């Protein structure tokens, strides 16, 4: 039926309404088109990035930290694989029973686990890092939704506390924080890379898209340290510190020909593999960062300056009768008063008076030049962070008494490494050798300090120190000539020299005919009755030299039947 016959069924709309609806539709579609063009043209990259976030991830590709080895390739620091337990909180679901099991497996308090997994936390949290793979596998066996493992690496030190002061350690993220680990961190750490992957809804990698940056693996570092010699040095030093009930001890072993540090040990020490009871004071590399007054071990440099002046020879007689030298309000004394001595005897018997008389006969600048040229007052630069430079004052400020006491090691501060390095001057042709903790493959040149004639004369006189009548007969080694010097210095306490606290030291060279090794030993505050350097430090050097010379197959330079036994000869005491 037609609407015309039924008017009530017909609907007549105003024309303007039809046009209005049409215009609205046109404007709507136009707006959508413009918006689409804008999004695809102007916001294209942002929208793609937002979309990629739903399925694409950029994962870091860690770089493996390089290994530290000794000079023969023995591993000293290696990175081992470990797992860290993390939780994706948006997927996490756990029962009370599982929570207790989880805490037990991780060795954590249940309250600590609950705190880490509280509703206030967001994203990803790590419950415990650096677990052994087998322990991590037991955690995953709980099958708790949201828990995952992340493979990492942990630094391990096979030598433990024997070499800890040299190597230092890394933090939990394998960044070097002490020792060689810090000094060589740039070479050891390498550079991490990254790759883009596609993940599914469960977070599983389903496809590798591209490698953004390839990782640069860390490089290995070979040290100058000889692990066999290191064990010998550490063992002998530890025994001496225990025997003499000392506060601490340090030892340095140098190759005098190459300037390489073959061993370096300190006691007390620490185990870098277990730092649960870590004490900063035990981690200090005393041989490089601690300073002390060297005492009589400095006398050879005063005597070398005297020989270089041309006014003295080893046979020149020095007025030491009575064993006392008044200087203003002070009196310099010898421990054992004797008659006049030759320069050789002054060194052999460690006469303070004889050394002071020679020093006072020289211009102060000449003595300062000898000490400064021998490396005192400057950082030795062996490649270790925090090396101390010691204190050597300007000679213009020296008073007469200061010049006298400086000649036998008072009023100057040095590190044991500085002292050991200075003795390289007497080993060859009078040159000061640059030291290093890294293995050297090419020979290096030293800096001339004294003439070859003076260096030879000093070696001859230093041999007398280890013979009967000297201060260090216990430094002798069967089959080898040993040259050296002892030191027994009172320690400064609150600005005054303590009468019962000593820094007892010895520096030895062997074989004296052509020195290959230098061993410097410091025993800090021995308290078991003996305190002379010849009693507590020289025997350590003797034992280390005997073992090291055998390990290095250095030919003897003394017929064994003619070698006196160190144990039957008493040392001449000294004290400054």
Which of the residues are catalytic?
296
Cα–chain-centroid distance for residue 167? 5
Instruction: Estimate to the nearest angstrom the gap between the alpha carbon of 153 and the chain centroid.
Output: 21
Strands 324-327 and 330-333: antiparallel
The three-class DSSP label of residue 398 is coil
Read off the tokens for 135: 């322990």
391: β partners: 413
CB burial of residue 45 (10 Å; 0-12, 13-18, 19+): exposed
Map residue 23 onto helix, strand or coil. Answer: helix
Given the DSSP bridges, would you call strands 75-88 and 68-69 parallel, antiparallel or unpaired? antiparallel
Tell me the C-alpha distance between 391 and 469, whole Å. 33
Beta strands per DSSP E along 272-336: 317-318, 324-327, 330-333
SS3 (DSSP) at 402? helix
For residue 331, the cross-strand partners are: 326
Whether 253 and 543 have beta carbons less than 8 Å apart is answered as: no
Nearest Cα to 505, choosing from 261, 362, 305, 296? Answer: 296
**DSSP secondary structure letter of residue 322:** T
- Max CA pair span of the chain: 155
Q: DSSP per residue over 175-230, as a string? A: -EEEHHHHHTHHHHH-B-EEEEEEE-TTS-EEEEEEEEE--BPPPPEEBS--HHHH
What distance in Å separates the CA atoms of residue 367 and residue 379, rounded to the nearest whole number? 19
Q: CA-based Rg of the chain, rounded to a whole angstrom?
A: 37
- Could you tell me the CA-to-CA distances from 350 to 134, 171, 426, 550, 573 in Å, in that order? 62, 48, 18, 30, 9
């Amino acid at each position: 039926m037609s609407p015309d016959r039924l008017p009530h069924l017909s609907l007549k709309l105003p024309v303007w309404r039809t046009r209005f609806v049409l215009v609205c539709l046109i404007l709507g579609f136009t707006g959508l088109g413009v918006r689409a063009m804008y999004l695809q043209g102007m916001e294209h990259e942002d929208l793609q990035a937002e979309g990629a976030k739903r399925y694409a991830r950029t994962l870091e590709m860690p770089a493996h930290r390089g290994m530290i080895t000794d000079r023969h390739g023995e591993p000293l620091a290696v990175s081992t694989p470990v797992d860290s337990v993390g939780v994706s909180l948006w997927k996490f679901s756990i029962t009370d029973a599982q929570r207790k099991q989880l805490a037990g497996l991780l060795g954590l308090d249940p309250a600590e686990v609950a705190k880490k997994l509280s509703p206030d936390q967001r994203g990803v949290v790590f419950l415990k890092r650096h677990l052994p793979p087998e322990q991590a596998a037991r955690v995953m066996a709980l099958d708790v939704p949201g828990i995952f493992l992340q493979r990492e690496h942990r630094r391990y030190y096979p030598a433990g506390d024997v070499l800890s002061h040299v190597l230092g350690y890394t933090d939990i993220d394998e960044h070097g924080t002490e020792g060689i680990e810090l000094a060589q961190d740039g070479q050891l750490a390498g550079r991490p890379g990254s790759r883009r992957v596609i993940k599914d809804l469960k977070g599983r990698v389903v496809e590798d898209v591209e490698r953004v940056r390839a990782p640069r693996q860390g490089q290995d570092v070979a040290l100058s340290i000889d692990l066999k010699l290191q064990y010998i040095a550490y063992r002998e030093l530890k025994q001496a510190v225990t025997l003499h009930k000392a506060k601490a001890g340090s030892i340095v072993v140098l190759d005098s020909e190459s300037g390489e540090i073959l061993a370096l040990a300190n006691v007390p020490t620490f185990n870098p593999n277990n730092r649960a009871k870590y004490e900063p004071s035990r981690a200090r590399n005393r041989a490089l960062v601690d300073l002390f007054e060297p005492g009589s071990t400095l006398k050879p440099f005063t005597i070398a300056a005297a020989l270089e002046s041309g006014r003295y020879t080893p046979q020149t007689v020095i007025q030491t009768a009575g064993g006392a030298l008044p200087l203003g309000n002070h009196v310099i004394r010898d421990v054992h008063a004797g008659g006049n001595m030759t320069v050789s005897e002054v060194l052999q018997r460690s006469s303070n008076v004889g050394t002071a008389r020679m020093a006072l006969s020289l211009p102060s600048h000449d003595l300062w030049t000898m000490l400064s040229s021998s490396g005192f007052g400057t950082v030795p630069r062996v490649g270790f962070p925090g090396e101390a430079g010691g204190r050597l004052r300007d000679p213009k400020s020296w008073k007469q008494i200061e010049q006298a006491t400086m000649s036998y090691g008072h009023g100057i501060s040095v590190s044991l490494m500085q002292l050991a390095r200075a003795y390289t001057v007497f080993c060859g042709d009078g040159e000061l050798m640059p030291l290093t903790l890294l293995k050297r493959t090419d020979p290096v040149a030293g800096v001339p300090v004294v003439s070859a004639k003076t260096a030879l004369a000093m070696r001859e006189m230093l041999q007398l120190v280890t013979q009967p009548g000297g201060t260090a007969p216990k430094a002798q080694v069967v089959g080898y000539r040993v040259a050296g010097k002892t030191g027994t210095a009172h320690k400064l306490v609150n600005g005054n020299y303590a009468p019962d606290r000593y820094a007892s030291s010895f520096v030895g060279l062997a074989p004296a005919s052509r020195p290959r090794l230098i061993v410097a030993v410091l025993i800090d505050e021995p308290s078991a009755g003996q305190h002379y350097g010849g009693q507590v430090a020289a025997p350590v050097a003797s034992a280390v030299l005997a073992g090291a010379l055998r390990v290095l197959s250095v030919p003897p330079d003394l017929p064994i039947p003619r070698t006196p036994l160190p144990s039957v000869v008493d040392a001449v005491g000294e004290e400054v």
